[in-house]
Amino acid sequence: MDRPSDAARVLDLTRSRPPTLGAGRLICVDGPAGSGKTTLAAGLGAPVIHMDELIEGWTGLRTVDAQLDGLLRPHTTGQPGSYRRYDWHAGAYAETVAVPPVPLLVLEGVGAGSLVVADLVTVLVWIEAPRDVRMARGIERDGDAFAPYWETWAAEEAEEFVRNRTRERADLRFRT
């Protein structure tokens, strides 16, 4: 996967579509853990909200939709949205983060392609990679703290992707 040209493809498609988030546009980058979502999102040159900050721990994917709604719906009327940041070390929600409307916002991470906010998405991107590659990346990124949760997380995210038909709905698909 060539990140610069992939980012250009995402941005070109996004610019070719009308705003969906009030006056702004929303790019959602979703896919399994360790597939390369964060790397692509960082190359888009826009503010990035990481789903890791919205999800309540290793089993919180099923409850993240309310966070997405409160973050994104206010933008449709030009108002700031907000979310409660989850502190993974404390195992609890921390402060509330305000997110002002911007011309382009990127939502990155597992669950970004939720059907709850599908009407607000300008471009949905799916990224995938072989399981062994993703596992190695996850361990490298998060250390041994990630290893005991890998199987539980993999099952949670697989259910999320089926429930939301994320891969099937994606406007662009990349494999790393």
Contacts (Cβ under 8 Å, ≥6 apart) of 170: 30, 113, 124, 125, 126
Is 97 within the bounds of a domain?
no
Q: What mean pLDDT value characterizes the chain?
A: 92
pLDDT tens digits, 118-144:
999 999 999 999 988 987 887 787 777
Determine the pLDDT at residue 3.
Answer: 52
Is 153 within the bounds of a domain?
yes
Is 158 within the bounds of a domain?
yes
Is 26 within the bounds of a domain?
yes
For residue 138, the domain's CATH number is 3.40.50.300
Is 80 within the bounds of a domain?
no
Place of tokens 């597992």: 110
- Does pLDDT of 28 surpass 80? yes
Residue span of the structural domain in which 35 resides: 3-50+102-175
- Does pLDDT of 50 surpass 60? yes
The whole-angstrom separation of Cα 153 and Cα 114 is 17
Number of structural domains the chain divides into: 1
% of the chain residues with pLDDT over 90: 76
Determine the pLDDT at residue 4.
Answer: 59
Query: Which amino acid would we find at residue 110?
Result: V
% of the chain residues with pLDDT over 70: 98
Is 60 within the bounds of a domain?
no
- Tokens representing 148 are 């005991």
Is 59 within the bounds of a domain?
no
Is 57 buried (19+), middle (13-18) or exposed (0-12) by CB count in 10 A? middle
Determine the pLDDT at residue 27.
Answer: 98
Find the radius of gyration of the CA atoms of the chain: 15
The whole-angstrom separation of Cα 56 and Cα 145 is 16
